[in-house]
Structure 1
Amino acid sequence: MKVEEFDYNLPERLIAQKPLPERDESRLMVLNPQENTIEENIFNNLKEYLEPGDMIIMNNSRVIPARLYGAKVPTGTEIELLLLNELSEGRWEVLVRPGRRAKKGVKINFEDVLEAEVVEYTDFGGRIVEFSWDQENYDFEEVLNKLGEMPLPPYIHEKLDDPERYQTVYSQKRGSAAAPTAGLHFTDRLLEELQEYGIILDYITLHVGLGTFRPVKSEEIEDHEMHEEYAEISADTAEKIKEVKAKGNKVVAVGTTVTRTLESAAQDSQLSEYKGWTDIFIYPGYQFKVIDSLITNFHLPKSTLLMLVSALAGKEFILKAYKRAVEEEFRFFSLGDAMLILNRKED
């Protein structure tokens, strides 16, 4: 299947640069692939499409200030690091810009508080670095909070007035290089309302890294390799999901990261506890084992995320919905509006 098949035209003015004043007042496009219908609503009316006993599963990963600006030793040349995965204490997988300046053995200084040494290259063009700092007086999290910046996507050109708007209200476990943005639409008030209505809420963890936003450079999507990201689903959550499905209720994933985690945990056709790395790549032809419905944002053209939602709802139907979203001037990407895919497409 050609990557070009997942392209669409998007006016730059529709790329959201700032979040709305209220998280849950974003627009919601509702797709029902089985009935071939598209309708529009507001996100805080989400429960209109759910039944008591349905289960919403969210990603509780928290974004870290993963972007660091430093100077090459001894030349002082500027180098930028984006932290992706913590491999062990002080040892990280990173992206470097510009990469040509970060050869093996290079040292990078960050305001005389932190130093990184490039120790290995990675298969995807990144680096493995080892950090050193005053460990007697500070832990790495404190240093990162002092030096790091929130790693907003490159298509967002304005700084956020409140960095917490790039975190979900339920974020807990630090480790992501980007927000699981489908969850940005939820408020504490809406979550409470859903629970009172009888919706079961639960959480998994996937620390968002390169696998989520790495561009597809191959012509055929089958040739693309996802980068590994760390994911967890507890045994208790797995059991709750099985109970919900046994009763005939829906499992609603909030975002592609939740989808990939749940589907990774069910690769042996039996959903179970999962702790480990996943590089699952979901595209049309994939047979879903866990999720029934999906809450997501509008994704970049030719991205693995667009391919995943196309697997769930059908490529032609998704592209039809995106065309309508452009015509109706929905807000796109991380800080934009939401989409609810109600029922996965049945073959």
Structure 2
Amino acid sequence: MKKSDFNYHLPDHLIAQKPLPDRSASRLLCMDRDTGRIDDRQFTDFIDWIDERDLLVFNDTKVIPARLFGRKQTGGKVEILIERILDAHNAIAHVRASKAPKAGAVIELDHGHCCIVLGRENDLFQLEFADANLFALLEQIGHMPLPPYITRADDESDLTRYQTVFAREAGAVAAPTAGLHFDQAMMDRINAKGVRTAFVTLHVGSGTFQPVRVEDLSEHLMHKEFFSVASGTVEAVRQARERGGRVIAIGTTAVRALESASKSGCLEPGFGDTDLFITPGYQFRSVDAMLTNFHLPESTLLMLVSAFAGYESVMNAYRHAIDQSYRFFSYGDAMFLGTLRNTH
């Protein structure tokens, strides 16, 4: 398939610029993976589609305040978006400036901090933050890295709302957005119903928003992201299979983590970098159903969803969502894809 196969027109007013007042107040488009049948629901109805046989797998990554604003020593403005923290004083980052800084350049930051450009590789710069622990510095002066299609500046509410309630492993520069719909009340309802949960970690990189620049998908170079799947999660998946339940991935990032750990043909504990690019024709090994948000046109995430639930069915569901004025992207509504069995 070609990149252009995954294009669609989205009116700007359907791009959610802010979260709803309540996390679980979103709408939920449910699509049967087998038939393509669509039901329009509320997110709180998600509990009706799962039962005690199922396993929900969440991504527990935590978004870091990865956007920094600074100045060159010549006075020019600089915007830094941390892509990956290498250690307490070094990171790889995107740097936006009127003219790209060269190796040895010093970038002055707020509160008297600074960083030094060590070098560059393609679009990314290696930066050294010698005067402070990087995690502490970001907590002090960093901004939440809202996606480029959110056109407003971040505010204090984004510190909590662009973060899942179960976030614990710091390292992401974008939220695993399907998880944003879950509040503690929903987590309690899931537990009360006897539905098991497990966690993986995938540190979402800013590459998740990078456009596919080639028409031939086989030529696309996928960005790398760190993932980890623990032995406890592998065992939880095995037990779900034994009791006839479904493995339901909460978000495309949980899908990528599980499928990256299944490259041998079966799910195994593991960690490292993954550049798994899932397109139609891919054979899923560890995921039976998926909760996800609506994704950008021609994006790798839309391609993954189409691989999972069928290209024609997914594109039809997107047309339906636009016709019904669903809210799109990170702060938007949700979509449940799987064999639908109402357990209410």
TM-score, length of structure 2 as denominator length: 0.95
The residue number in structure 2 matching 1:2 is 2
Query: Could you tell me how far 1:122 is from its partner in structure 2?
Result: 2.1
The residue number in structure 1 matching 2:230 is 234
Q: 1:150 aligns with which of 144, 153, 158?
A: 144
| C-alpha RMSD over aligned residues | 1.4
- Counterpart check, 1:90 vs 2:89: yes
Structure 1 letter corresponding to 2:221: E
* 1:1-347 equivalent positions in 2, closer than 5 A: 1-73=1-73, 75-98=74-97, 100-111=99-110, 113-123=112-122, 125-133=123-131, 135=132, 139-158=133-152, 159-163=154-158, 164-343=160-339
Query: Could you tell me how far 1:217 is from its partner in structure 2?
Result: 0.5
Structure 2 letter corresponding to 1:162: S
Residues 106 and 297 (structure 1), Cα distance of their counterparts in 2 relative to 1, 3 Å cut? same
* Contact 1:298/1:332 (8 A) holds in 2: yes
**What are the ranges of 5 or more consecutive residues in structure 1 without an aligned counterpart?**
none
For 2:130, what is the secondary structure of its paired residue?
strand
Deviations along 1:78-127, one digit per CA (max 9) or x if unpaired, are 1111001112221111011137422222221113532222222224x111
Structure 1 letter corresponding to 2:127: V
**What are the ranges of 5 or more consecutive residues in structure 2 without an aligned counterpart?**
none
**Aligned residue pair count:** 338
Residues 84 and 99 (structure 1), Cα distance of their counterparts in 2 relative to 1, 3 Å cut? farther
Deviations along 1:273-309, one digit per CA (max 9) or x if unpaired, are 1111111111111100100000000000000000000
* Contact 2:147/2:209 (8 A) holds in 1: no
Residues 288 and 232 (structure 1), Cα distance of their counterparts in 2 relative to 1, 3 Å cut? same
CA–CA separation in structure 1 for the residues paired with 2:101 and 2:249: 39
* Contact 1:27/1:42 (8 A) holds in 2: yes
Identity %: 41
CA–CA separation in structure 2 for the residues paired with 1:147 and 1:329: 37
Query: Could you tell me how far 1:161 is from its partner in structure 2?
Result: 5.0
* Contact 1:295/1:338 (8 A) holds in 2: yes
Structure 2 letter corresponding to 1:236: G
Query: Could you tell me how far 1:208 is from its partner in structure 2?
Result: 0.8
CA–CA separation in structure 1 for the residues paired with 2:86 and 2:173: 14
For 2:129, what is the secondary structure of its paired residue?
strand
